[in-house]
Structure 1
Amino acid sequence: MATSLRTREGGPATGRSASRHDRGEGPFRFLTTGAGILLLAIMAAIAVFLVVKAIPALQQNTSNFFTEKLWTPNGAEPRFGIAALAFGTLISSLLALLMALPVAVGVALFISHYAPRRLAGVLGYLVDLLAAVPSVVYGLWGVIFLVPFMSGPATFLNTYFGWIPLFAGDAVYGRSILTASVVLAIMILPIIAAISREVFLQAPGSLEEASLALGATRWEMIRMSVLPFGRAGVVSAAMLGLGRAMGETIAVALIFPATFEITLRVLSANGNSIAANIANGFGEATVTGRGALIASGLVLFVITLAVNMAARLIVARRSFGGAA
C-alpha cells in the first residue's frame, strides 16, 4: 500500500500521463522548430531579393558605391554612392542613443526602485505608450514645433561651444542632424526604458537587502547590486534602440535637409539617411534609381542585422546577472 502510494504521489509518471506528455511534446517541438526555420527563410528571402534587385543598378553605376557621396542614379550616366547616407544614418543614430540612453536608464531606475508602486505603474504605462505613437506623428511634431524651437538651442551651442567640431559653423539651422537626432532619441527612449526597467526589476532582492543591511544608501545599493546585474540587459536595450533609430524613415524624412554631404557639423543644413533617402526618392526614381535605392536598403539591412547580432552576442556572453 505504501509503495503504490509513493508511486502515485512522488514516483515516476504513469504510462498514461507519459504518453499524453509525448503526444504534446512532438507537435510543440515541430511548431517551434518550424517557426524558427520560417523566420530564417524570410530573412534569407529578403536578402536575396535585395541583392538580385540591386545588382543591375550597381553594374550601371559609374562610381564607387561605397565611397561616392553624390546620389544621381536617374541620369544618363548613373552616379551614386552610400558614403554620405551611411554617415548621416550612423551619426544621427549615435547622437540619438547618447541623448536617450541616460534618460531611459534614469527613468527605468526611478520606476523600478524609487517611485511608489501606484506612481510607478502609471509612469511605466505612459513610457510604454510613447512606443505606440506613429512615427509620422513624431515627424510632424518635429517639423511644426521642434524645427523652429531648435534655433535657440542651436545658436547657444554654436556661440559658446563652437570650438567643438560638432557645434561649429558659420550659421545654424532648425532642419539639421541635431534636430533629427532629438526626434530619434524620443522615439527610442521607450524601448530602452522598458527593457531596462524589466531587467532592473529582476535584480535579486537578497542582494539589495544585503547591501542595505550593511549600511549602504539606496544609490550605493543600486550602484553595487542593481546596475552590475542589469549591465548586459541595458547594453542590449541600447543596441536595439540603435537599430530602431537607424531604420526610422518617415520622421527623419520630414526633418532631414536631404543633402549629400559628409560633415561633423550637426547644426548646419546638411545631412540625410538611408531610410529617409529611400522614402523621398522612390516615387520619382527610374528603374536604375529604384535599383540604387534597393542597394542602399541592402546596406541598411546589413548594418541593422549586425547591430542586432551584436546585441545577441552580448546577451549570450553575459547573463543578466552580470556573469561572464
Structure 2
Amino acid sequence: MDTVITPRRLTTKRETADRVFRGSVRASGTTVLLIMSFVGVFLLIRAWEALRVAGPGFFTTQAWEPDSGNFGIAAVIVGTILIAGVAVTVALPLAMGTALYISEYAPPRLRKTLITIVDLMAAVPSVVFGLWGVFFLQEKIVPVARWISTVFGWIPLLRVDGVDPHDPLASSTVYTSSTFIAGIVVAMMITPIMTSIMREVFMQAPLGEREGALALGSTRWGMIRSVVLPYGAGGIIGGTMLGLGRALGETIAVYMIISPVFVIQPHILANGTNSVSALIALRYGEATPMGMSALMAAGLALFLMTLVVNFAASTVVARSRSGASS
C-alpha cells in the first residue's frame, strides 16, 4: 500500500512586539496613502468649477484672467519645467561629484563632517536661498549669462532677443530675473537631497567587488567606473528624479527671483518667466472665488505632475540592483 506523503506546513509564530510593529508600519503606510488621496480629491473638488469653465483650453491657454474666463497653465507649466530642468542640469554633476568624494575619497574623519554639512544644507529655509539669489547671485551671474548668449546664442533656448551682446553699454536687466538664475538657486536647494541619496547607494556597493577590481590591478577611478557607478545607477536616476520633483514645486525662492510673465518664454537667459507654485503665491491673496478655483486647478496639475515624477523615481530605484538589494 502506497503511503501518501503530505508536506508539513510551516508556520511562524510572531511575538507580540513583532505584531505591534507590523501593524504600526502598515497603519502608517495606509495613513500616508489616505492623506495623499484626500489632498487630490480636495484639489479636484475645489478646481472643478474652473476646469468646467476653461475646458481643454486650460492646458493650452497662456493668459491668466480667471474672472473673464480666459485662463490656462500653458505658460506657467512650461516655465516650471524649464526652471526644474536648469536646476537638475546644474545639480546633477554637483551632487554626483560630492557623493563620490564623500563615499570614495574623503578621509573617515572628514567624511562625517561633510555628511553633516550636506544634511544641514537641506534644512536651510528656501527664503534664505531666495535672498541669496536676489542680492548676491543675480549680479554675479549676469556676465556669465551674457557670455553664454554670445557664444551659444545659435541654440534657441540660449538666445536672448532684443539685445546686442557685443554692446558694452547694453542694459544688463534683460538678463535678470530669468529662468537661468531661478534654476541655479533651485539647484542649490535640491543638491543636498540628491547627494544624500547617491551617497547612500554608492556606499552600499559590494565590498567584495570593490576589492576584486582593485586586486585585478584597477585604479580607484577604474573601480568606481566598473563597480560603484553601475551598482548605483538606480540611485543616481532615482535621486535625480526626486530632486526634479522638489524643483517642480519650489515656491518662495522662485517667487522672489523671477519676473512673472504669462506668455511662453522659452529663452532661459532672458528676463521673465513663471511657475505654477509662484503663480499660486502671487495671486492667492487677491483671488476671487473663480480665481481661487483656477489656482486650485493649477495646484492639481502640479500635484499630479510631481506625483508622477516621484512614482517614476521609486519605480526606477526599486528595479535597480541597489534598490532590489535593500
**TM-score, length basis structure 1:** 0.90
Contact 2:261 2:273 in 1 (8 A): yes
Contact 1:63 1:81 in 2 (8 A): no
Q: How many residues align?
A: 303
Per mean C-alpha deviation after superposition, the further-off stretch among 181-190 and 56-65 is: 56-65
Contact 1:177 1:271 in 2 (8 A): yes
Alignment pair present for 1:29 and 2:35? no
Alignment pair present for 1:109 and 2:100? yes
Find the counterpart in structure 2 of residue 148 from structure 1: 139
Measure, in 2, the Cα distance between the counterparts of 1:94 and 1:50: 26
Find the counterpart in structure 2 of residue 59 from structure 1: 52
Q: Which SS does the other structure have where 1:150 is aligned?
A: helix
Per mean C-alpha deviation after superposition, the further-off stretch among 185-194 and 260-269 is: 260-269
Find the counterpart in structure 2 of residue 48 from structure 1: 41
Q: Which SS does the other structure have where 2:57 is aligned?
A: coil
Q: Which SS does the other structure have where 2:293 is aligned?
A: helix
What do residues 67-100 of structure 1 show as CA deviations (whole Å, max 9, x unaligned)? 0000111x3x221101111111111101110110
What do residues 129-179 of structure 1 show as CA deviations (whole Å, max 9, x unaligned)? 110100011011111112222211111111111111122123332110000
Alignment pair present for 1:210 and 2:212? yes
Structure 2, unaligned runs of 5 or more: 1-11, 164-173
Contact 2:235 2:323 in 1 (8 A): no
Name the CA shift for 1:322/1:216 in 2 (closer, same or farther; >3 Å). Answer: farther
Structure 1 residue corresponding to 2:245, chosen from 212, 237, 243: 243
Per mean C-alpha deviation after superposition, the further-off stretch among 22-31 and 176-185 is: 22-31
What do residues 249-277 of structure 1 show as CA deviations (whole Å, max 9, x unaligned)? 10001111111121321111121000011
Measure, in 1, the Cα distance between the counterparts of 2:260 and 2:53: 24
**Root-mean-square deviation over aligned CA pairs:** 1.7
Structure 2 residue corresponding to 1:255, chosen from 257, 260, 282: 257
Find the counterpart in structure 2 of residue 82 from structure 1: 73
**TM-score, length basis structure 2:** 0.89
Question: Would you identify which runs of 4 or more consecutive aligned residues in structure 1 move more than 4 Å?
Answer: none
Q: CA deviation at 1:62?
A: 7.7
Per mean C-alpha deviation after superposition, the further-off stretch among 302-311 and 143-152 is: 143-152
Could you tell me the percent identity over the aligned residues? 47
Find the counterpart in structure 2 of residue 312 from structure 1: 314
Q: Which SS does the other structure have where 2:315 is aligned?
A: helix
Measure, in 1, the Cα distance between the counterparts of 2:27 and 2:89: 39
Measure, in 2, the Cα distance between the counterparts of 1:254 and 1:272: 11
Alignment pair present for 1:269 and 2:271? yes
Measure, in 2, the Cα distance between the counterparts of 1:177 and 1:247: 15
Measure, in 2, the Cα distance between the counterparts of 1:321 and 1:308: 15
The one-letter code of the counterpart of 1:248 is E
* Bigger relative CO (Cα 8 Å, ≥ 6 apart): 2
Q: Which SS does the other structure have where 1:68 is aligned?
A: coil
